[in-house]
Amino acid sequence: MNSVAVIGAGAWGTALALQAHRAGCAVALWARDPTRAAEIAATRRNPRLPGVVLPDAIRVTAVMPAAETVLLVVPVQHIRSIAAALPADGTLVVCAKGVERDTHKLPLEILAEYWPGRAMAVLSGPNFAHEIAAGLPAAATIAATAPGLSERLAQIIGTPGFRVYASDDPIGAQVAGAAKNVIAIAAGCVIGAGLGENARAALVSRGLAEITRLTVALGGKADTTAGLSGLGDLMLTCAGPASRNYSLGLALGAGTPMAEILAGRTSVTEGVATAPAIVARAAEAGAVMPICAAVAGIVRGELTVAAAIDALLARPRRRE
């Protein structure tokens, strides 16, 4: 039996623990807070996933567990704070999406500072936690550069209802996963401001072009952005009402102040921290990302939604 440690007991971590259990793995779910870990262990429920009951076989703990496969499911802005404390053995699989605020690094780049030469991968795709927890059909990409690693990991955590496709492009999977959150904020702003479905479709299409430019500039593959971790995830996040990033943009577009939106949330909206970071990383790589730049201006309080939209519409026309 394969052993899997899920590091992070939020909604997504809990959903992945359930999926790994379905796949026949011995699963440990780690929560940073001992009190929270004890509550989940005792009740077999996580308030982040209402109505979901954890099987007794899933061990919930506040002690960092060891396993053959370690799924890292903490927000990207917190990866550095726990990187050194991760289990010393086992393949690390990043299941978070974003760019580090201060360094502009992707998740695997952060981990490589602490675990050079270690086998690592990234899991990404169009997956809402509550649907994965419920066992609804879904698919994802797992990407690694080590020969055969992504295929092996796909066999470990995949099931007929959760199809996992192997990829050798972790750069593309990480860039797409990070940027789609930023584009989703923009898509929400468009709908919240009453600009219509045509405008959202145009924005999402151009957002995909931005994702592709940065992917290629960083050494990834353009084809990746047309797959599950790119277009698939972008479609879900820019339209699904359960998307934290889209719903934040929706509220911004309707005129709700950023501080008020964030004050009412208990979970992380990754696109807020990622927007300025990914724009900075794009500038370093020579990639132009005007939609992401507009969102960065909005979340920093430098642009209103109306001003950002006007600026995008005023950009010079160009060939597609």
Per the document, the length of the chain is 320
Q: What angle do CA 211, 216, 221 make, to 5 degrees?
A: 95
Taking phi over 0 as left and psi of -120 to 50 as alpha, with beta for the rest, 197 belongs to alpha
208-253: pLDDT as tens digits: 999 999 999 999 999 999 999 999 999 999 987 789 999 999 999 9
277-311: pLDDT as tens digits: 999 999 999 999 999 999 999 999 999 999 998 88
Domain annotation for the chain: domains and CATH numbers: 3-168 (3.40.50.720), 171-313 (1.10.1040.10)
pLDDT of residue 291: 97
Number of Cβ within 10 Å of residue 262's Cβ equals: 14
Q: Which of 97, 105, 180, 221 is catalytic?
A: 180
pLDDT of 184 higher than 90: yes
pLDDT of 320 higher than 80: no
Q: What angle do CA 210, 295, 283 make, to 5 degrees?
A: 50
Q: Which amino acid is at 311?
A: A
Least Cα distance to 177 among 8, 290, 10, 12 occurs for: 12
180 carries an active-site annotation: yes
Quote the percentage of the chain above a pLDDT of 70: 100
- Dmax of the chain from CA atoms? 60
pLDDT of residue 310: 86
pLDDT of residue 315: 81
pTM beyond cutoff 0.75? yes
Number of Cβ within 10 Å of residue 235's Cβ equals: 14
